[in-house]
Chain A
Amino acid sequence: MIETPNQSWNLREWLAFASVWGAAVLVTVTFCWLLGDIIWHGLSHISWTFLTAPPENAGRRGGIGPILVSTGLILGVCLAVSLPLGVGTAVLLAEFTSDTNLFGRLTRRSLDVLAGVPSIVFGLFGNAFFCKTLGLGFSILSGGLTLACMVLPILIRSTEEGFRAVPDNYRLSAAALGLSRTATLVHLLLPAAVPGLLVGLVLGVGRAIAETAALIFTSGYVDRMPESLLDSGRALSIHIFDLSMNVSGGDANAYASALVLVIMLLIINGTASWLATHSLHRKIVTV
């Protein structure tokens, strides 16, 4: 016969229960409060004009049109550089270097360290290297490249995990059928590694789009509409920072800009998870 459980919960169970739920509630409440605050203060200011018009009076009035364009361009440069480099490096690390290979181990270790480096350090590096040494100045290009450096470690490591999660028997059966490594990589491994790549992309882009410190020293402050990648351009996060810290009376627009940023993040997240499940459904991954 099954013993009836002790009716009164003992203290330890209560403590565990309370702390687990407490933590969950705390996180949710904080997030909702933050989001609610931003929506409450920001939503009424958002309009089509706000999204397209240039800022006026240091951003107190007007919109964020040029700032959205700069942000998009910076992100574009960042992705154009980090995606091919990231996937390439991940392939090299996961498929062409053994676990014990010294080069592979050093690269992995360095990437893990880099992933934890504060963004301000990347900002200073970008300023010294892209702006000064390469002579790109304060520009969208410098900013995008700096962000790429920052995003790469996360992107590479999670894509690599994506490749490692592909069962070895695909590689063996492909080889036994006389398929070349390239064909195996392109047709079997890459599609199977897409979920890992997407996770890295979301984490990386999320970090990049919200980045301030790395961009202040590289893409600069100028809030005009950029005319080329070599123009300076102000990213959304810097705009928010500037409005709330340096511009008195800029709070309303700061809230509205923050709301736009949060919405962009949510859209990126949603798209990526939709893509991930979509590609999983299409491929059906074995367990």
Chain B
Amino acid sequence: MTPLEPITVSHLHHPAGDRFGRCERQPFVEVDQLSLHYRGKPAFQDVTLSINKGCITALVGPSGCGKTSFLTCLNRLTDLIAGCRVSGRITIETLDVLAPGLDVIQLRRRIGMIFQKPNPFPLSIRKNLEFPLREHGVRDRRQIAQTIEATLRDVGLWEEVKDRLDSPALALSGGQQQRLCIARSLALAPEVLLMDEPCSALDPLSSGVVEDLIVSLRGRYTILIVTHNLAQARRIADDAAFFWVQNGVGRLIEAGIAKQIFEEPHDPLTAAYVSGMRG
């Protein structure tokens, strides 16, 4: 795999005018004929999808169609699940994600993940950001402090927590915790962000704040977001992929530009789902 650049804060400095970055529609992650089995039982099959660099791709579909499972293939979190078998091909630029000898630690540094339920570590706010940085070899105190400030500013949390960086992260509100988790991922300078229903455990107000944050990350990160909130998907997504369960197995029914998926879907299943008639 390509050697990683050292983590610096430079990736976080972006001129104010560039705040809402653009999506270039250039394939970055290629998924080819991907299938996943849990103990021999297929969760989803034959998913072929190309994800564009710097764009927000929304994954939508009913419960149990394999959206979460799909995300966990990309950062190889599937390795942790006993009896889980993934077949097919995933490439990020030139990196073969499913190659057996791959350094998953480096892979997961390039691909951050945000979970449905905010899950900061039971440490202080500062330690939550510092601990992963240190483990990835950043030792310089000044650099750590800079990265902490820059990422917290990035997620709009700095002003709220700058005076209590050493208080427990779990004392923050749900929305703040989720933004801290996003900051924790951003601190490692990832290229791809996987978000599994990042707003669904939050109140509407916090949900809106996190949604705005995600939009502000467009262009700088390639974002895959699972959401059950179709209105949200319409608001923020550049591209969309629609999953559906057929005979108990998840399938990718249709993928493409979000506007087209939501407004003129080709497949009748998609049409029924996005108009709220099914699912």
Q: Which residues of A contact B (CB under 8 A)?
A: 98, 169-180, 183, 187-188, 191-192, 283-286
Contacts and interface: CB of A to CB of B under 8 A. Distances in A.
B185 A284 contact: no
B188 A177 contact: yes
B108 A172 contact: no
Nearest to A173: B119
B171 interface: yes
Contacts of A177: 108-109, 112, 132, 135, 184-185, 188
Contacts of B181: 173
Contacts of A188: 121-122
Nearest to B184: A177
A170 B108 CA distance: 15
B75 A176 contact: yes
B108 A176 contact: yes
A180 B77 contact: no
A183 B121 contact: no
Given A176-B75, A183-B135, A170 B119 contact: yes
Given A175-B80, A180-B105, A284-B171, 17 more contacts: A172-B80, A172-B119, A173-B181, A174-B121, A175-B77, A175-B108, A176-B112, A176-B113, A176-B115, A177-B108, A177-B109, A177-B132, A178-B104, A178-B106, A178-B188, A179-B132, A188-B122
Interface string B83-123: 00000000000000000000011111100110101010111
Contacts of B132: 177-179
Q: B interface, how many residues as a size bin?
A: 20 to 34
Interface string B227-241: 000000000000000
A47 B117 CA distance: 59
B23 interface: no
Which of A170, A174, A177 has most B Cβ within 10 Å?
Answer: A177
Contacts of B123: 283
A286 B122 contact: yes
Contacts of B168: 283-284
A171 B119 contact: no
Contacts of B185: 177
B109 A178 contact: yes
B115 A178 contact: no
B20 interface: no
B170 interface: yes
B136 interface: yes
B277 interface: no
Contacts of A98: 82
Nearest to A176: B113
Nearest to B169: A284
Q: Which of A174, A178, A192, A286 counts the most chain B CB atoms within 10 A?
A: A178
Contact of A170 (B80, B107, B121): B121
Contacts of A187: 131
A178 B108 contact: yes
Contacts of B184: 177
B77 A176 contact: yes
Contacts of A284: 122, 168, 170-171
Contacts of B75: 176
Contacts of A174: 121
